[in-house]
Structure 1
Amino acid sequence: MDRPPIVSFIMSVIFYIILCSLIIVWAFSVICRRYRETNYLRQVVRQSIVVSPTTSHELPRGLENSIIETFPKFSYSARFDQDDGLKSQMKTTGECAVCLGAFEEKEMVRLLPKCGHVFHADCVDTWLRMHVTCPVCRAILLPDHPLTGVGNTQV
Structure 2
Amino acid sequence: MSDKSPLISYIMNIIFYIVLSILLLLWLLTIICRRHGSFQSSTQQRRQAVLVSPAIVAYPINQELPPGLESSIIETFPKFAYSRSDQDTGMKMTGECAVCLGVFEEKETLRLLPKCGHVFHAECVDIWLGMHATCPFCRAILLPEQASTVEGPTTQFEVVINVNDGRER
Length-normalised TM-score, structure 2? 0.60
**Aligned-residue offset at 1:23:** 0.9
Deviations 1:63-122 (A, max 9, x none): 123322333333322233763xxx1x51x3322233443312233311223443311223
User: 1:4 — aligned with what?
Assistant: none
Q: Quickly say closer, same or farther: Cα 1:111–1:148, change in 2 above 3 A.
A: farther
8 Å contact kept, 1:75–1:109: yes
User: 2:98 — aligned with what?
Assistant: 97
Q: Quickly say closer, same or farther: Cα 1:137–1:81, change in 2 above 3 A.
A: closer
More strand by share: 2
Higher mean alpha-carbon deviation, 13-22 vs 71-80, is at 71-80
CA distance, structure 1, for counterparts of residue 115 and residue 155 of structure 2: 9
User: 1:142 — aligned with what?
Assistant: 143
Size of the aligned set, in residue pairs, is 131
Letter in 1 for 2:15: L
Query: Please, which of 2, 5, 11 is the counterpart of residue 9 of structure 1?
Result: 2
Length-normalised TM-score, structure 1? 0.64
Is the partner of 1:103 in helix, strand or coil? coil
RMSD, aligned CA: 3.2
**Match status 1:68 vs 2:74:** yes
CA distance, structure 2, for counterparts of residue 131 and residue 103 of structure 1: 22
Percent of aligned pairs sharing the same letter: 51
User: 1:18 — aligned with what?
Assistant: 11
**Match status 1:78 vs 2:61:** no
Q: Quickly say closer, same or farther: Cα 1:81–1:140, change in 2 above 3 A.
A: closer
Letter in 2 for 1:40: C
User: 2:54 — aligned with what?
Assistant: none
5+ residue gaps, structure 2, are 39-44, 50-61, 157-169
Which has the greater radius of gyration?
1
Query: Please, which of 36, 39, 42 is the counterpart of residue 43 of structure 1?
Result: 36
Question: Post-superposition, which runs of at least 4 consecutive aligned residues in structure 1 deviate over 4 A?
Answer: none
Q: Quickly say closer, same or farther: Cα 1:81–1:126, change in 2 above 3 A.
A: closer
User: 2:55 — aligned with what?
Assistant: none
5+ residue gaps, structure 1, are 1-7, 50-55, 150-155
CA distance, structure 1, for counterparts of residue 139 and residue 87 of structure 2: 30
